[in-house]
């Protein structure tokens, strides 16, 4: 690990590039994973390759996604736009007869790279010829923005923009079968599996064996992700490309857990962001607040491509960059589950606005409810074995507003909205969010049309039925769809 870190420091710290030697750009983006890496303070496991990347580059400790679920998050970073500004804020939307089209002036990041003479590609890992990696955009797009699935397909000497999209936290699956699969794989590849004994759960989760085992499997998915990062770096080095390649490591949102993915808490929004490459300061750490869409602008900037005026992403590596005061996030419909939340995060505070406060925290969601961890937690609540903090997610209604002092209360447990000592901060954060929604033309201010909702649900249900998926799971989705309609009609 130390040798690799020294290599990054020597190469990336000394190299400069000009118009005739533009750097390659590589994004490595795992699914469903929080910042559980050694360089971010995780002590239960070792992650030498991500740690080496950070030691030889720049680490951001306050990076947040603008959406805590994959398709909306991906729609945002591939355009450098808030998903709420381009109408792509509902998860897996525009998939049926009703389509979503981007404003004509907006171009996808790979298209901008193509126009600048770059080869563009996207794959899983290891890459396979002809097989694209995960895209999952909520709008209509032309697949020709990607020249191929492999950077090796480029013309000789042509710079490339490549994305490695990997399963990340999804590797652990949803139950005992998935946990054993990833842990056996880690044992075979890395020589060991993560023992339950090293797991420390956040205080809002019960210390139940199923949750502990799931978290241990999740940590092994982080170890396997780290191993993959090492393979990508080694491949670039083997091909003589590493010295002139700009590497960005970031996850698409936080861990898929009860209070993580799909929620506005840091477990769902906070992500690792590590950058190494030509001209990047080595071993540096930045604590200013940045948004995940910023990788779009900084990548263009690194390649010497002008960042379009319309883009909301900012080149956070630019010499004239002025740090953001806050990061903004939005959660709307996820699969069949209708919701409407907004959040603003500064270095010191988190403010959440729940626009549907009469709904329960854990609304029915067939995707999440199929996970053993949710089944276990719901049963524990029914059995009345959860403490006060662990019962927070089972409230039948939500406060319209939530405010947390994230330095004193990093797990976001103590809502300060009614504390007069924080009245001024509450007012300030509320105003920040309201101004952002207006200035960015938040499309979520209007509910999704019945036509779009039904169009997407027809595809969702029809697709699962065609694959002969579990009929009980399918029926839950259908029941949830009906419930969402009933709640909406009742003003809930």
Q: Cβ(389)–Cβ(413) under 8 Å?
A: yes
Confidence (pLDDT) at 279: 92
Structure tokens at 104: 């004509």
Q: Cβ(57)–Cβ(277) under 8 Å?
A: yes
Confidence (pLDDT) at 17: 41
What does the chain come to in residues? 492
Q: Tell me the average confidence (pLDDT) per consecutive run of 10 residues in the chain, 492 residues long.
A: 52 45 97 98 98 98 98 98 98 97 97 98 96 98 98 96 98 98 98 98 98 98 98 98 97 98 98 97 97 98 97 97 97 98 98 98 96 98 98 97 98 98 98 98 97 97 89 95 97 95
Confidence (pLDDT) at 154: 97
Residue 328 DSSP SS3:
strand
Q: How far apart are CA 73 and CA 78, in angstroms?
A: 9
Q: How far apart are CA 31 and CA 49, in angstroms?
A: 18
Confidence (pLDDT) at 467: 87
Confidence (pLDDT) at 179: 98
In order of their start, the domains of the chain are: 2-330 (3.40.720.10)
Residue 402 sits at φ, ψ, to 5 deg, of -135, 140
- Cis previous bond, 126, omega within 30: yes
Confidence (pLDDT) at 29: 98
Q: Cβ(404)–Cβ(416) under 8 Å?
A: yes
The total of other beta-carbon atoms located within 10 Å of residue 430's CB is 16
Q: How far apart are CA 178 and CA 165, in angstroms?
A: 20
Confidence (pLDDT) at 8: 56
Residues near 399 by beta carbon (within 8 Å), at least 6 away in sequence: 354, 357, 415, 417
Residues near 131 by beta carbon (within 8 Å), at least 6 away in sequence: 123, 124, 149
Q: How far apart are CA 55 and CA 100, in angstroms?
A: 41
Q: Cβ(170)–Cβ(32) under 8 Å?
A: yes
């Amino acid at each position: 690990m130390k040798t690799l870190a020294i290599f990054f420091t020597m190469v990336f710290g000394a190299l400069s590039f000009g118009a005739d030697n533009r750097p390659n750009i590589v994004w490595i983006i795992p699914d469903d994973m929080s910042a559980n890496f050694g360089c971010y303070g995780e002590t239960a496991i070792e992650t030498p390759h991500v740690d080496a990347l950070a030691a030889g580059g720049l680490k951001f400790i306050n990076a947040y996604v603008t959406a805590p679920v994959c398709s909306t998050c991906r729609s945002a970073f591939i355009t450098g736009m808030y998903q709420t500004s381009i109408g792509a804020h509902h998860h897996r939307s525009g998939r049926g007869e009703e389509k979503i089209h981007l404003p004509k002036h907006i171009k996808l990041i790979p298209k901008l790279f193509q126009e600048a003479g770059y080869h563009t590609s996207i794959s899983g890992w290891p890459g396979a010829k002809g097989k694209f990696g995960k895209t999952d955009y909520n709008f209509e797009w032309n697949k020709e923005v990607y020249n191929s699935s492999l950077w090796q397909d480029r013309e000789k000497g042509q710079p490339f923009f490549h994305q490695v999209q990997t399963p990340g936290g999804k590797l652990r699956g949803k139950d005992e079968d998935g946990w054993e699969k990833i842990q056996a794989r880690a044992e075979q590849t890395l020589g060991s599996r993560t023992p339950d004994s090293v797991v420390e759960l956040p205080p809002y989760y019960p210390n139940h064996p199923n949750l502990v085992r799931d978290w241990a499997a999740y940590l092994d998915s982080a170890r396997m992700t780290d191993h993959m990062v090492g393979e990508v770096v080694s491949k670039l080095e083997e091909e003589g490309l590493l010295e002139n390649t700009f590497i960005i490591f970031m996850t698409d949102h936080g861990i898929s857990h009860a209070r993580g993915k799909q929620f506005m808490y840091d477990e769902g929004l906070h992500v690792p962001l590590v950058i190494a490459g030509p001209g990047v300061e080595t071993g540096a750490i930045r604590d200013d607040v940045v948004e995940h869409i910023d990788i779009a602008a900084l990548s263009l900037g690194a390649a010497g491509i002008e960042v379009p005026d319309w883009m909301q992403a900012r080149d956070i590596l630019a010499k004239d960059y002025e740090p953001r005061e806050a990061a903004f996030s939005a959660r709307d419909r996820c699969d069949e589950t209708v919701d409407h939340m907004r959040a603003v995060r500064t270095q010191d505070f988190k403010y959440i606005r729940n626009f549907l406060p009469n709904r329960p925290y854990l609304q029915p969601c067939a995707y999440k409810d199929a996970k053993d961890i949710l089944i276990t937690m719901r049963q524990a609540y029914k059995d009345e074995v959860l403490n006060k903090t662990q019962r927070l997610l089972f409230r039948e209604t939500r406060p319209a507003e939530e405010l947390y002092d994230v330095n004193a209360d990093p797990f976001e447990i103590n809502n300060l909205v009614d504390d007069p000592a924080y009245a001024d901060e509450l007012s300030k954060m509320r105003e920040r969010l309201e101004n952002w929604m207006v200035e960015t033309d938040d499309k979520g201010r209007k509910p999704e049309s019945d036509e779009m909702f039904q169009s997407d649900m027809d595809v969702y249900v029809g697709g699962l039925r065609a694959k002969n998926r579990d009929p009980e799971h399918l029926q839950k989705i259908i029941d949830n769809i009906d419930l969402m309609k009933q709640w909406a009609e009742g003003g809930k």
